[in-house]
Amino acid sequence: MTHRFTTARSAIVILAAVVVALTAAPPADATAKQASPAHPVQATASREAGAPIMAIVSIKSQQVTIYDADGWILRAPVSTGIKGRETPAGVFSVVEKDKDHHSNLYDDAWMPNMERITWSGIALHGGPLPGYAASHGCIRMPYDFAENLFGKTQVGMRVIIAPNDAEPVEFSDPKLFVPNADALAAAPARADKLALEAADAAKAADDAKATAAAAAREAAAAPAAVRKLEYLKTRADAELAFAERMLAAAKTDQNKARAQDLRDKAAANAADLGTQLDAAKADAKAKLDAAAAAKDALKAAEAKRTDTTAAARDAKLALEPVSVFISRATKKLYVRRGFASTIEIPIAIRDPDKPIGTHIFTAMARTDSGLRWTAVTIDDGDDAKDALDRISIPQDVLDRIAPTAVPRSSIIISDEPANREQNYRTEFVVVLNNQPQGGLAIRKPASDMIARDGYGYYGNGYARQYGGPYGVTSYYYPRW
């Protein structure tokens, strides 16, 4: 019954959307677009398709094209953001997928087969297509197309939104990453080895922490034992002194014998307590020394845990495609792998005051000599080759990332800085600031999101868990 209800509701929603799209008068600025004779059509390549590597959305043509390693595989018309809520042009990636998403912001609007590209709410999803830009910033696709695409894509797929028509073109240049076959072959075993070392170091650090805690407790208790014996020794010394005075004052042999016996017992007790006190002091010093040594050992173990964890993380990330972003605005080079930031350094750009454009170079597939690359340009400036020629990636950076570069690796060169939507749960987010961004501007930036433990509603948003490559984390973000 649940399936029938969902199917019925879906059919009603689709039918209602179609009726609205066919009967509603288009906005004034859409009339010219409707009059255009060249409307995008839905199409599928005749060849067998591989896994999608990138999606390119043309705002001008209202079309999305999906590419695998060998070219386009799927095409469909889309509906992007209306005036004032324009879909931002730039470079994004899929950060989350939700099969049956509903918007809390827009009257529970159904957004089936949603593929989020910003955490503040820009996404590709199924929706009505009136033939012109009509969304609040998202990219609506035909319902069946969105469903088909949803089953093929994966989190991390590149999404390029171009103001005009753009497509990947074959590109080769000696500056592009050339992987090392031996490094690639050794990478999985190295990652496993370092993961084991990190696990061993973590256990050793936990053991060292327990040892240090126990040693600290014993060291803390030792002074109390010393103080107690010092008190008893002081009292014993006083009793001995009193017995000696009694002995000196005794007049009769009987009193002298009794006083001597008391004096001998007091002296023995004082001597015994003196021995105990000396031993307690030595024990306390040993415990304090042991606590200090355990503390030092804990520091060393924690340092080793940190180092081995970082090494294991880097080794695991080396199995992922590498993404490099070079910004003329900040004059820096950034490296990410698996959404994780690994390198950020200043970089020299020739003619730094001259526009360079925005270019995306993508490794599409392996070749006998390394990788086959394409280039996509979406903003005015240099052409792709000239843009790459103005960049000099430091050799030590190349040595760290090029040997294990794999298909889907990329280099983004842009005049723009990283957008505020970029955070530790995204790939690079680069938005063209010379294009309208209304659909992005109306949303709260991703930096406003609050990490939170567990599931649960909170304010106008919700907390939700995501299973990433490094475990499960909970996040809070506004509903949309």
| 296-306 residue pLDDT tens | 999 999 999 99
Residue 127 in this model has a pLDDT that exceeds 90: yes
Tell if the pTM clears 0.85, that is, is over it.
no
Give percent of the chain above pLDDT 70.
83
Residue 411 in this model has a pLDDT that exceeds 70: yes
E strand or H helix at 126 = strand 123-126
Residues 326 and 417: beta-carbon distance below 8 Å: no
Residue 201 in this model has a pLDDT that exceeds 60: yes
* 473 vs 154, higher pLDDT: 154
Taking only the tens place, the pLDDT of each residue in 378-389 is 998 999 999 999
- CB neighbours of residue 278 within 10 Å: 12
Mean pLDDT is highest, among 314-318, 331-335, 445-449, for 331-335
Identify the pLDDT of residue 104.
60
Q: What is the C-alpha separation between 201 and 207, in angstroms, rounded? A: 10
Read off the amino acid at residue 183.
A
Identify the pLDDT of residue 445.
62
Mean pLDDT score of the chain: 86
- Structure-token match 């599409």, residue found: 364
Taking only the tens place, the pLDDT of each residue in 58-98 is 999 999 999 999 999 999 999 999 999 999 999 999 999 99
* 302-326 CB burial, b ≥16 within 10 A, e <16: bebbeebbebbbbbbbbbbbbbbbb
Residues 195 and 315: beta-carbon distance below 8 Å: yes
- 83 Cβ neighbours under 8 A, 6+ residues apart: 27, 29, 133, 436, 438
Residue 451 in this model has a pLDDT that exceeds 60: no
**Based on C-alpha coordinates, what's the Rg of the chain?**
36
Q: What is the C-alpha separation between 315 and 80, in angstroms, rounded? A: 40
Identify the pLDDT of residue 143.
96
Residue 217 in this model has a pLDDT that exceeds 80: yes
In this prediction, residues 249-260 reach a mean pLDDT of 91
In this prediction, residues 348-355 reach a mean pLDDT of 96
Residue 254 in this model has a pLDDT that exceeds 60: yes
Query: Minimum mean pLDDT among 16-20, 261-265, 345-349, 453-457: which range?
Result: 453-457
- 119 Cβ neighbours under 8 A, 6+ residues apart: 95, 96, 421, 423, 425, 426, 446, 449, 477
